[in-house]
Amino acid sequence: MADRKVAEVFPPGDYIKEELEARGWTQIELAEILGRSPRMVNEIICAKRGITPDTAKGLGNAFGTGAQVWLNLESAYRLSRAHEQDESVARRARLYTKAP
């Protein structure tokens, strides 16, 4: 069986940054459009805050995409981060099966 390579997953903020650049918008302008604080927008872009369903709806409306696009990006990113933690859990579980 061939080794599988996991595709690199980027935080949703990277995609938001690209959308802002394509439209010539600033983070402050996006915050005004969404009716949110500039700090919240910046934290999402810097991957310090996740995208909630409500924020996903706003992003979908602002960028002409569905909310599901943003929720999927958020979920994929969070799962990829959790996978890193899963490896250490699996390693400890293997150790406990050999020497409890």
pLDDT exceeds cutoff 90 at 36:
yes
Decide which of 3.30.1050.10, 2.30.110.10, 1.10.540.10, 1.10.260.40 is the CATH code for 12-98: 1.10.260.40
Domain ranges within the chain, ordered by starting residue: 12-98
CB 13 within 8 A of CB 50: no
Distance (Å, whole) CA 81 – CA 77:
6
Once rounded to an integer, what is the mean pLDDT over residues 3-22?
88
Q: What is the pTM of this model?
A: 0.79
pLDDT exceeds cutoff 90 at 58:
yes
H helix and E strand count, the chain: 5, 0
What is the predicted pLDDT for the residue at 97?
85
Residue 74's nearest CA partner among 2, 6, 7, 9 is: 9
Residue 19 pLDDT class (50, 70, 90 cuts): very high
